[in-house]
Amino acid sequence: MKILTAVLIVLAISACQSEEKDPCTKFDEVDREMLGLINQIRTKHSDNKKFLSNFNMEQVYWINYRDHHLKSVYPEDWSRYYRKEFGKEVFNPCKCKEMTRFTYNRIEELKLWLSNGPSGQDECPSLWSK
């Protein structure tokens, strides 16, 4: 079992380090894009305090969801093992890749606020259509 774990670790490291662009730099770019959309949505609904309160909490919960997902995928014990074995944090690029993936999904959700919501829900009364 330890050999299989070690092989999986080496494969994960190789996959994470083979990217041309630094995954964490990519995440920073995508995160800025998401923050720009959030600011546009807040501006669009700046006169609706109840919406802003709920929308802000939605973002807090989304970040918590993302972070807990990362902890599930990359448990802390594995991180300590990698540092012990390889002398550095090797999961960081992989975590950044997963945060980037999650953020892209969030961006698509946020765009619904600026495009009048998902198709097929035009008849549903919501703030998306405003």
Task: Specify if 94 maps to a domain.
Answer: yes
How far is the C-alpha of 84 from the C-alpha of 56, rounded, in Å? 39
* Domains in the chain, number: 1
Asked if residue 12 lies in contact with residue 98, where contact means CB atoms within 8 angstroms, the answer is no
Task: Specify if 41 maps to a domain.
Answer: yes
Asked if residue 62 lies in contact with residue 31, where contact means CB atoms within 8 angstroms, the answer is no
Task: Specify if 50 maps to a domain.
Answer: yes
What average pLDDT does the segment 74-89 reach? Answer: 64
Tell me the pLDDT band of 7, cut-offs 50, 70 and 90: very low
User: Tokens at residue 111, please?
Assistant: 């765009």
Task: Specify if 7 maps to a domain.
Answer: no
Predicted pLDDT of residue 72: 87
Q: Which residue has the higher pLDDT, 73 or 31?
A: 31
How far is the C-alpha of 7 from the C-alpha of 55, rounded, in Å? 43
Q: Under DSSP, is residue 32 helix (H, G, I), strand (E, B) or coil?
A: helix
**Is 0.85 surpassed by the pTM of this model?**
no
Tell me the pLDDT band of 121, cut-offs 50, 70 and 90: confident
The domain in which residue 42 lies consists of 21-112
Task: Specify if 118 maps to a domain.
Answer: no
pLDDT tens digit sequence for 29-57: 999 999 999 999 999 999 999 999 999 99
Mean pLDDT across the chain: 79
How far is the C-alpha of 109 from the C-alpha of 66, rounded, in Å? 14
Tell me the pLDDT band of 70, cut-offs 50, 70 and 90: confident
